[in-house]
């Protein structure tokens, strides 16, 4: 595969450094402008900047453009992958920013990602086949463009908003997903390989953001961050034809969806904190975080690490089922 290893390395470094610089800048700006929220799972309930996701967007855009500029002339198709991922993700990231500032309606949050899928639809013209475990390759025809692809991006973008609220949880989940998709993509050829490289860039960006977001968090990703992470991962899976992997990677979010649906999506992922800093939940669980709280005595970062561990198990399944053809 004709790509510049130096270009990949440079893209990863640029993405990481820009994330560090821009996130630190956003933290200072949010404090001055009052864009803060309470850190609910702490005894002190400190005010924490909430628009840290801007740093994720800046770092990913910088890294992706660096990769595009250093490699587009080496092999055809690179620009199609990178541009489609960027366009779709930036549209949804903008939706997240609007939600952070104006608290837009649930209907808008649900339907705008459908329009954001248009760049990926144009990119995917001619590819309507999905390999499904135990069934083999299935050609969905026109349904792929009008239902499956828009639904995939909508689900992946919105899912990250449901399982959030603990320091580092969402960014860490995204990092695990990105590494899994990177491994799958780099073992493949063609556009899947390019999507794998974009996954590495995303992983470096999320690692940089976790420096500020892990316990105790100096910033929250905000809706711009959660929407953007979910949309980039969804776009990578779509552009790299890794639908099976996306299915397994998002299974914890399926559990979260079921739990939240029981509360008509009014449930939270926060816990109740005791005077020693341990989180607990005495009512019916309306989040995966609550299930973890009910099985043991854990502090916030313990719960995050446990859920990360769960996601790692699903990431392993994603790699196995995406890279091994299993039929009956």
Q: Mean pLDDT check: name the lowest of 20-34, 54-68, 136-150.
A: 136-150
CB atoms within 10 A of CB 61: 19
Which residues lie below 8 Å from residue 143, measured CB to CB, with a gap of 6+? none
**Which of helix, strand or coil describes residue 71?**
helix
CA of residue 34 relative to chain centroid, distance: 26
Distance, CA of 279 to CA of 70 (rounded, Å):
47
Residue range 190-214: average pLDDT?
95
d(CA 113, CA 92): 6
- Residues 70-115 have pLDDT tens digits of 887 766 678 888 999 999 999 999 989 999 988 887 667 777 777 8
Alpha carbon distance 198, 29 (integer Å) = 29
Closest CA to 280 of 300, 305, 257, 265: 300
User: pTM of the prediction?
Assistant: 0.93
Give Cα separations from 318 to 125, 137, 179, 244, 249 (angstroms).
Answer: 25, 17, 11, 7, 6
Mean pLDDT of 299-327: 89
The per-residue pLDDT for 205 is 98
pLDDT band at 56 (very low <50, low <70, confident <90, very high): very high
Q: Give the model's pLDDT for residue 131.
A: 67
User: How many angstroms from the chain centroid is the CA of residue 313?
Assistant: 17
Mean of the pLDDT values across residues 198-224? 97
The crossing angle, in degrees rounded to 10, of helices 149-162 and 106-116 is 140
Strand partners, 129: 139
Q: Calculate mean pLDDT across residues 4-20.
A: 93
């Amino acid at each position: 595969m004709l790509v510049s290893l130096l270009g990949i390395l440079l893209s990863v470094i640029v993405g990481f450094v820009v994330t560090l610089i821009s996130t630190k800048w956003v933290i200072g700006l949010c404090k001055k402008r009052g864009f803060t929220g309470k850190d609910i799972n702490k005894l002190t309930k400190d005010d924490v900047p909430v628009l840290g996701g801007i740093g994720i967007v800046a770092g990913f855009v910088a890294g992706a453009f660096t990769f595009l500029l250093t490699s587009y002339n080496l092999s055809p198709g690179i620009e199609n992958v990178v541009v489609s991922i960027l366009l779709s993700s930036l549209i949804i990231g903008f939706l997240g920013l609007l939600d952070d500032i104006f608290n837009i309606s649930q209907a808008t949050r649900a339907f705008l990602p459908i329009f954001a899928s248009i760049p990926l639809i144009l990119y995917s013209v001619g590819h309507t086949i999905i390999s499904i475990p135990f069934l083999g390759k299935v050609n969905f025809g026109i349904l792929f463009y009008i239902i499956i692809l828009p639904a995939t991006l909508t689900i992946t973008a919105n899912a990250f908003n449901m399982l959030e609220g603990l320091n580092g949880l969402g960014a860490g989940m995204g990092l695990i997903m990105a590494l899994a998709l990177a491994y799958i993509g780099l073992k493949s050829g063609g556009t899947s390989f390019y999507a794998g490289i974009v996954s590495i860039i995303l992983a470096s960006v999320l690692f940089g953001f976790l420096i500020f977001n892990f316990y105790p968090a100096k910033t929250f990703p905000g809706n711009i961050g959660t929407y953007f992470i979910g949309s980039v991962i969804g776009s990578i899976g779509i552009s790299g034809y890794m639908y099976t992997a996306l299915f397994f990677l998002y299974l914890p979010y399926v559990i979260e969806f079921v739990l939240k649906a029981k509360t008509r999506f009014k449930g939270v992922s926060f816990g109740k904190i005791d005077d020693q800093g341990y989180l607990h939940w005495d009512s019916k669980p309306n989040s995966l975080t609550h299930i973890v709280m009910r099985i043991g005595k854990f502090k916030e970062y313990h719960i995050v690490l446990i859920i990360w561990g769960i996601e790692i198990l699903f990431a392993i399944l994603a790699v196995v089922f995406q890279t091994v053809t299993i039929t009956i």
